[in-house]
Amino acid sequence: MNNMKRDVFQIAAFTAAVMALTAMLSSSVWLTFIMLALYGALLAQAWNILGGYGGQFSFGHALFFGVGAYAQVIAQVTHGINAWVALALSIAAAALVGLGTGALTFRYGLKGSYFALVTLAFAEVFRIGAVSVGFTGGGVGMMLPLSESVANLQFGSRKGYIALMLAFVAAAALVTAWLRHSRFGAGLMAVRDNEDAASAVGVDPQRAKRGAITLSAAFMGAAGAFYVQVFQYIDPAIAFGPHVSVEALVAAIVGGMGTLWGPVLGAVALHTLADLTRNLFGQLPGLNMVIYGGVLVLIVMFMPRGLAGLLTTMQPARTPPGRASSPSDAAPARGAESDRG
Amino acid sequence: MAELLRIEHLSRAFGGLRAVQDVSLAVRPGTLTALIGPNGAGKTTLFALMSGFLKPDAGRVVFAGADITGRAPQLNARAGLTRTFQIVQPFAAQTVRENIAVGAHLHEPRRAAALAAAERVAERVGLAAQLDKPAGDLTVAGRKRLELARALATRPKLLLLDEVLAGLNPQEVAEMIPVVRSLVAPGPGTAAGSTTVLMIEHVMQAVMNLAEHVWVLAQGQLIAEGTPQAITNDARVIEAYLGHGTATRLRGVAA
């Protein structure tokens, strides 16, 4: 259990550091940056649980985000449920939808690009559904009335939201640490690396993947509920559109899939990059996105194991040091990565 | 119970190719037996049918008294029937220890205990020095040992070994033979005959050395069975490997 203790210690240190930093800051620009970076880290860590540790690359994680967001606002506005209770309901609703989609897609053996496409399609179905049915407010979306109080889960200061978000990021990191040092996680990673070999030694691949997508969806649901509490508005495009799905998976891939800190690193790096390009090239609309995209391409090309792969020495490199950067080695290394899909 | 595994009239076709046709055999507990045959005879398909990776078109698989025909591989592993793969399938990104621990977790929920069990199994198959290496960095011989170790860690009653010696040099084969024999023979801390082994093997040196009973599969059909000595003198077996008419010609040379 030493490794587990080390991970828990790191998570505790990270949490304490962010809390200390937040306590010292008063600039709302920086506090907003921390809040959004943590929000990105939660999305990425949620995706990482299924994508990084389960090897199932979802392109439609907004599905679970949207379910959480809508559950949060519908519970409060339509049914008058307390915001904290609504939060629990949102997480449960997202987890349930995760379990349902997982049971369906994994039952029929969808993997790799097929799984990615089906998750994308599920999110689109929900987006169109949210436009069409009445209880979501249709295409107009839904507003959460502003009423700042802790009981309403609406804070006067960014610091309240940061504390809430930090709790979720820490919880997601703890779940990830548990995956790294538990029987369930060992089975999940075995399924990721080789499904046949895993089932030959007694791992039930469907059960492992269903568990992973349920956990992953629960954290996406929490992020959706958080979004509603902060921005007090949700519509079908925000909830189920591709933006959230892409944000979750890009941060996880850039940071390093299948690592504990990769998603956090990726989210912080991407938010820094996005803010920088927006501030530097904001007067030329669109240029910031061009640079943002270019940097992403470079990261994926030259750091197939992500930022965490550069920093960590805990995971042994697949190619000997000094050879990894030569073009002839880069291609097979990327091939090996994509084999996980 | 006289037999640990019994298959009855098992058949499986892939389109027009009848890979396994009406094969029946029975494996007694505590034995080390072998399944041989030329390339494409259907040996690996037969293993896949026994372990649940493929469903037979006809026939039955009975393991430890229960009908397991078409039952999922992970359920068979839980019941004590584990296979290895001819083309080794390591979890390449993970260390040797972590690889073996996946097997050990079948009967051991706690992580620390599974890792400790992995270490003991690694010692048995001669992988102790490589425990912290990524599985992807192992040599072919190392991967074969890992394949065996991971299966062994599930504490199988019946181990189906698919060519664990293929691709090894003579030195490595000589090192592996005692390892395979020790699976069945009583060892320290294990009851006599705790594991039964059925192996697919091309390395005849190993088959002659290890197996007490051999089945010969050719073009999906069982053509002969018996002791290794009897099999190597069987005209049908010689013809299956070397072509029609060779048995008589070889006998003519010998006379």
pLDDT in tens, B100-155: 999 999 999 999 999 999 999 999 999 999 999 999 999 999 999 999 999 999 99
Q: And the tokens for A114? A: 């097929």
Please give, one letter per residue, the 3-state secondary structure of A235-276. Answer: CHHHHHCHHHHHHHHHHHHHHCCCCCCHHHHHHHHHHHHHHH
Phi, psi of B134 (to 5 degrees): -65, 140
The pLDDT of residue B1 is 52
- A169-181 pLDDT, tens per residue? 999 999 999 999 9
For residue A330, pLDDT over 50 is answered with: no
The end-to-end CA distance of chain A, in Å, is 29
**pLDDT value at position A111?**
87
Task: Inform me whether the pLDDT recorded for B87 exceeds 80.
Answer: yes
Contacts B77 to A, Cβ<8 Å: 199-202
Task: Tell me: pLDDT of B33 over 70.
Answer: yes
Taking the CA of residue B149 and the nearest CA in chain A, the distance in Å comes to: 11
User: Which pLDDT value is given to residue A294?
Assistant: 86
Range scoring the smallest mean pLDDT among A323-332, B34-43, B48-57, B108-117: A323-332
Strand partners, B10: B23
Residue A42 has pLDDT above 90, yes or no: yes
Which parts of B109-214 fold into alpha helices (H)?
111-125, 140-152, 170-184, 204-210
CB contact under 8 A, A183 and B114: yes
Tokens standing for residue B182: 């020790």
The predicted structure's pLDDT at residue A139 = 87
Q: What is the average pLDDT value for chain A, to the nearest integer?
A: 88
Distance from CA of A55 to the nearest CA of B (A): 12
pLDDT in tens, A87-106: 999 999 999 999 999 999 99
User: Does A319 reach chain B within 8 Å, measured CB to CB?
Assistant: no
Share of chain A above pLDDT 90, in %: 73
Give residue B100's pLDDT: 96
Q: List the single residue in A with minimal CA-CA distance to B104.
A: A201
- Mean pLDDT check: name the lowest of A184-198, A320-334, B35-49, B153-167: A320-334
**Mean of the pLDDT values across residues A311-328?**
43
> Which residue of B53, B93, B101 is in closest CB contact with A193?
B93
Checking if the pLDDT of A28 tops 80, the result is yes
| pLDDT interval class at A303 (50, 70, 90) | confident
Q: Which pLDDT belongs to residue B254? A: 62
pLDDT at A331: 37
Is B81 a residue whose pLDDT tops 80?
A: yes
Nearest CA in chain B to A204: B74
Residue ranges of domains in chain B: 5-254
H/E stretch holding B197 reads strand B196-200
* B5-254 belongs to CATH 3.40.50.300: yes
Position A61 scores a pLDDT of 96
The ipTM assigned to this model is 0.89
Q: How far is B75 from chain A (nearest CA, A)?
A: 7
Place of tokens 């240029």: A287
Which residues does chain B have within 8 Å of residue A198's beta carbon, measured at their own beta carbons?
Answer: 74, 91, 102
Task: Flag if B91 and A189 touch (Cβ within 8 Å).
Answer: yes
Contact at CB, B82 and A193, closer than 8 angstroms? no
Rounded to an integer, what distance in angstroms lies between the CA atom of residue B165 and that of residue B172?
8
Mean pLDDT of A209-233: 97
